[in-house]
Copies of this chain bind each other. A is one copy, B any other.
Amino acid sequence: MKRNLYLNVQEKETALSRFLEAFSHIQPGRERISVIHSLGRITAEAVYARYSSPSYNSCAMDGIAVISAHTKGASESHPLRLIYEKDYLDVDTGDMIMPPYDAVIMAEDLIETEDGEGYTIIAPTHPFAHVRAIGEDIVAKEMILPTGHRIRAIDISVLISAGITEIEVIKKPVVGIIPTGDEMIEYTEPLEDGKIIETNSWMFENLVTENDGIGHRYPILPDDLELIRQKLTEAVSECDMVIINAGSSAGRDDYTIHAIQELGEVYTHGVAIKPGKPVILSKIQNKPVIGLPGYPVSSYLTFTEFVLPVMNMYCRTGGFVRQQKQVTAKLSKTLMSGLKYEEYVRVKLGIVENELVASPLERGAGASMSLVRADGFCVIPQDKEGILAHENIQVKLVKDMEQIRKTLVLIGSHDLILDVINDLMMEEGRDTCLSSTHVGSMAGLIALQKKEAHMAPSHLLDEKDGSYNTAITREMFPNEKMVIIKGVRRRQGFIVKKGNPLNIQSIHDIMHGVRYINRQRGAGTRVLFDYLLKKEGISKKDISGYEYEAATHMSVAVAVQKDNADVGMGIYSCAKALDLDFIEVGFEEYDFVTYEKYLELPAVREFIHVLKGEAFKKRLDMLGGYGCEECGQICFI
């Protein structure tokens, strides 16, 4: 069974600079468009005014036009009477001022004469007073906008004033996008086992749009060398550059590399970045053709690292080049990485006590949802084995920094209600939102200790008295004023398949080959399960699947639903959401631990406001399995 080998795995910077060099002949395209449709476009050359503005001496205030020489000598002690048409004319803002009139007196400074046939003034004026002289705003032949300027609404108004109706702008590069794969289906087709909905091409198309290009997506191609060759030839002739996805790795069916080799020149096959290794950088008919990997996170990253720089060549001029925004943040925990690649790690950002903290997320390349939840990426350079906790790192943003500033950061135990609370905060539109990272109750409290989060959702049982959260908080924060914001009482139990085919009634029914799915270390639900095992005198070794872990209640539920396991421990709402059966073990208290001083934060106040609201109670009813008698109450401990 033959497999492709990567031709050569190159360092990212080497691969990219070599590739860009091969296209140094690329010149930005230009087109002439109407100014009124130019919003957001980039000037391809400097723009000079055709007309001056104002184009004549014009009145700057509502009032009267006067001959300034006639106003000499007017004062409070010697008011001067002005006669209509001899000394003045009525004028409005914008009216033309013609000789002999050379100044304007504002309406506010006029005293109407008693006969109503003129005005009296008590101060003289001078030439060009309250007159907008010709060219005061814009002088014809002046440069209004330089090359490479992104046009804003305010620029459009000035361009029109200056007599410009059409301008030369950079032409948007057309980026062809070819999705491939026998297992891929269009999102409009029915989903069957073994098939995958093709999504990357739509992300690429929209990333191209976000970065001032025009995405041109082709339909999905099967893994067929001849078809791929044909489509590549067609796309290269129709577009400025082409992305082909995926088929860039070393699997059996990877015809992409062969097709490109036949049609053009391959510069790079394989780049030392993680995730994202299988990248093809190549040239067909003098145009860039880039093969990107199929995993969502890999494909996003390799797009930003390889496609964007090439797009920028098609529109290179100063201010224009689109770069991902970066911020400096403090890393919350040590990140290890291999020397074999430059690694990109998704992070959540939060501003806690005026410090921007980056908490790393899971690293799987397939987790597109974690890309949606991420705030940015930090990069571990290839020559570093990792980054130590508390070091400052650069984070490339995927979310707006403004929004991050307004975000309440929760790290700890997972529950569906966190999404609901965020949704209600967003819906109320009070300009705060919530981000939650699910690491389990214990890890959440540790993050709170380190000021990486504002709040830790927690349901930690005190085995001594059966109470929740208070004892552990007292123990872990001995010198701090802490509060517990009461959350919900929730039903914990065993999630089993619909109809409970294995007839599981208690923890004793989970031995003897029944496949269990556990939660990760530190999760409150795992602590509860261990407590039950101990209480019943059952050994962990007797639980088949004790080491098979999931990170959320929903992941446990879906594993049971789809038969990766027979039973798992979790909350009722998740069993209900997936229409599974539930064997109750008991109620537990799911609360929010925080510092007393954080109660003053606007986002925390809004959070409590939502917890206490009627809308939240209704949403709990819909989810099922929650009690909310104390919801939003504050316990000072």
Cβ-neighbour of A199 out of B1, B133, B152, B157 (below 8 A): B157
> Would you list which residues of chain A between 551 and 593 have a CB under 8 Å from chain B?
552, 554-555, 557-559, 562, 564, 577-578
**Which of A245-253, A483-491, A500-508, A522-530 touches B?**
A245-253
Chain A interface helix/strand/loop/mixed: loop
Q: Which residues of B contact A268 (CB under 8 A)?
A: none
Contact assessment for B366 and A132 in the assembled complex, using a CB-CB cutoff below 8 Å:
yes
CB of A144 closer than 8 Å to a CB of B:
yes
A216, chain B: closest CB distance, angstroms:
14
A535, chain B: closest CB distance, angstroms:
28
Contact assessment for B196 and A54 in the assembled complex, using a CB-CB cutoff below 8 Å:
yes
CB of A10 closer than 8 Å to a CB of B:
no
Number of chain A residues whose Cβ lies closer than 8 Å to a Cβ of chain B: 129
Binary per-residue interface labels of chain A (174-196) against chain B in the complex, 1 for a CB within 8 Å, 0 otherwise: 00000001010001100101101
Cβ-neighbour of A153 out of B158, B188, B210, B577 (below 8 A): B210
Q: Which residues of B contact A120 (CB under 8 A)?
A: none
Contact assessment for A157 and B558 in the assembled complex, using a CB-CB cutoff below 8 Å:
no
Binary per-residue interface labels of chain A (35-57) against chain B in the complex, 1 for a CB within 8 Å, 0 otherwise: 11001000000100001111111
Contact assessment for A372 and B154 in the assembled complex, using a CB-CB cutoff below 8 Å:
yes
Cβ-neighbour of A429 out of B155, B163, B320, B426 (below 8 A): B320
Contact assessment for B94 and A196 in the assembled complex, using a CB-CB cutoff below 8 Å:
yes
Q: Which residues of B contact A139 (CB under 8 A)?
A: 552, 554-555, 557-558, 578
Contact assessment for A107 and B3 in the assembled complex, using a CB-CB cutoff below 8 Å:
yes
A296 and B368 CA atoms in complex are apart in Å by: 46
Q: Which residues of B contact A154 (CB under 8 A)?
A: 203, 300, 368, 371-372, 398
Q: Which residues of B contact A398 (CB under 8 A)?
A: 152, 154
CB contact under 8 A between A199 and B366, given known A319-B403, A558-B52: no
Contact assessment for B364 and A143 in the assembled complex, using a CB-CB cutoff below 8 Å:
no
Contact assessment for A368 and B53 in the assembled complex, using a CB-CB cutoff below 8 Å:
yes
Contact assessment for B429 and A156 in the assembled complex, using a CB-CB cutoff below 8 Å:
no
Cβ-neighbour of A368 out of B137, B209, B433 (below 8 A): B137
Tell me the number of copies of this protein.
Answer: 2
A420 and B142 CA atoms in complex are apart in Å by: 11
> Would you list which residues of chain A between 116 and 138 have a CB under 8 Å from chain B?
126-128, 132-138
A394, chain B: closest CB distance, angstroms:
15
Contact assessment for A137 and B558 in the assembled complex, using a CB-CB cutoff below 8 Å:
no
Q: Which residues of B contact A547 (CB under 8 A)?
A: 126
A563, chain B: closest CB distance, angstroms:
9
Residue of B nearest to A150 (CB): B400
A51 and B371 CA atoms in complex are apart in Å by: 18
Contact assessment for B251 and A92 in the assembled complex, using a CB-CB cutoff below 8 Å:
yes
A87, chain B: closest CB distance, angstroms:
15
A203 and B96 CA atoms in complex are apart in Å by: 24
Contact assessment for B153 and A207 in the assembled complex, using a CB-CB cutoff below 8 Å:
yes
A418, chain B: closest CB distance, angstroms:
9
CB of A317 closer than 8 Å to a CB of B:
yes
A364, chain B: closest CB distance, angstroms:
7
A90, A136, A317 interface centre (most CB from chain B within 10 Å): A136
CB of A274 closer than 8 Å to a CB of B:
no
Assuming A55-B196, A128-B564, what are 16 further A-B pairs, CB within 8 angstroms?
A36-B205, A46-B419, A46-B423, A94-B196, A127-B545, A134-B559, A138-B369, A144-B369, A146-B423, A146-B427, A154-B398, A158-B369, A160-B202, A163-B187, A318-B430, A325-B402
